[in-house]
Amino acid sequence: MSELLLKGVPRRALVLLSVLLAVLLVVPLVANDYLITVLILILYFAYVGQAWNIMMGFAGQLSLGHALYVGLGAYTAAALYVHFGISPWIGLGAAIAVAAAAGAVIGLLAFRFRVAGVYFAILTIAFAEFARIGFDHWRWIGGSAGFFLPVANYTRNDLLFLRGSPTMFYYLTLAMTVLAFVLCHALLRGRVGYYWQAIRESPEAAQALGIDIFRYKMYAVVLSAAMTSLGGVLFAFYYNNLFPEQIFHISRSIEIILGPIIGGIGTLVGPIVGAFLLTALAESLDEAMRAFGIDIPGIKQVFYGVCLLLVVVFLPEGVWPPLSRLLGLHRRDGEG
């Protein structure tokens, strides 16, 4: 297994990845709370970006409604915990089930009725918006007034109920990001990965070669939805408050996909690099605004927008593909 995973990966890439992982593992020993919070944010976006990338980057299905799966995962695990005292470790099973079912319904409807491209993207937005307004009017989970988890004090970490310090959440998010990375790497190497890429490049050709494109597109949607919902569970227990207006909002879906697109769509490292760059950019813009004493609402987002614009205009493949060529890390078959 490990031989299969490691075969053909440049030695230099392995060394760099190991160093990065080692640094990430020891960072909490030296970092302050602020840095930890920022790193959690980066890893969270790297994780959900990776999950989204399975659908778009690997299988070529553009989803603009991934906030749906984050929200469903978050609300499912949080509701089970608050109303029935069920541990999030069991709750995440339910979260996966609910999100996977939602993904399956969307996939089933879209792929059976041949809704594709822009239309598919808008269908995914429609479902997320539908959920947003529905949850807004659902009293049992707080409706538009929000749903709150009892806030823990940080004296000791309760891993069973995920109540604890940012450091605990940091290691959890790191573990999820690493697992997602390894899983995606394995998937890309396997039969499924090649089928997905064939479907992405040309659905007609893939079908002519005998690939059951309906089934493999369904796999991509369901897996992506399930993985994204875990991000939602983490979100719920880390932030302790959920508002339909925020968690299901289209701007959340856009946030999720910015990382992989800026980093390099369809690559394994892209979502991580993208999440890092964008979060670092947002934070340093905050810092810069403070340093210059500028307090105008909206000006930070304008800079952010300009940076996005520059990246899409000048680096159409994203940041990672040219960067990896520069570092001599690319593989001949073009897989990141």
Partner 1 sequence: MPAEVYLNVAVSGLLTGLVYGLMALGLSVIFGVVRVVNFAHGEMMTIAMYIAVAAFSAYRLDPLVLLVPIAAVLFALGYVMQRGLINPFINRPEHSQFMLLVAIALIMVNGLLIIFGPDAQSVQTRYAFDSFALGPLIVDATKAYAGAAAVVVAAALFAFFRFTLAGKAIRACADNYLGALVVGLDVKRLYALTFGLGAACVGAAGAMMVLLIDVTPPLGPAYTLLAFVIVITGGLGSMAGALLGGVLIGMTEALGGLLFTPSAKSMFAFGLLVLVLLFRPQGILGKSPS
Q: Which residues bind partner 1 (CB under 8 A)?
A: 56, 62, 64, 109-110, 113-115, 117-119, 121-123, 125-127, 129-130, 133-134, 136-137, 144, 250-251, 254, 257-258, 261-262, 265, 296-302, 304-306, 308-309, 312-313, 316
For the bound state, the minimum distance from the C-beta of residue 132 to partner 1, rounded and expressed in Å, comes to 9
For the bound state, the minimum distance from the C-beta of residue 44 to partner 1, rounded and expressed in Å, comes to 20
Tokens 């960067």: give the residue: 323
CA separation (Å) from 103 to 73, 109, 111, 253? 12, 10, 12, 15
Name which of 101 and 126 has its Cβ closer to partner 1. 126
Host H or E run for residue 163: none
Instruction: List the structure tokens of 64.
Output: 């603009």
Q: What is the DSSP string of 61-124?
A: ---S-THHHHHHHHHHHHHHHHHH---HHHHHHHHHHHHHHHHHHHHHHHHHTT--HHHHHHHH
For the bound state, the minimum distance from the C-beta of residue 165 to partner 1, rounded and expressed in Å, comes to 34
For the bound state, the minimum distance from the C-beta of residue 305 to partner 1, rounded and expressed in Å, comes to 4
For the bound state, the minimum distance from the C-beta of residue 182 to partner 1, rounded and expressed in Å, comes to 25
Tokens 């659905």: give the residue: 203
Name which of 234 and 262 has its Cβ closer to partner 1. 262
Name which of 238 and 248 has its Cβ closer to partner 1. 248
Name which of 236 and 277 has its Cβ closer to partner 1. 277
Tokens 């709370």: give the residue: 33
Name which of 188 and 257 has its Cβ closer to partner 1. 257
Host H or E run for residue 328: none
For the bound state, the minimum distance from the C-beta of residue 174 to partner 1, rounded and expressed in Å, comes to 28
Cβ proximity of 45 and 256 under 8 Å:
yes
Host H or E run for residue 236: helix 213-239
Name which of 17 and 250 has its Cβ closer to partner 1. 250
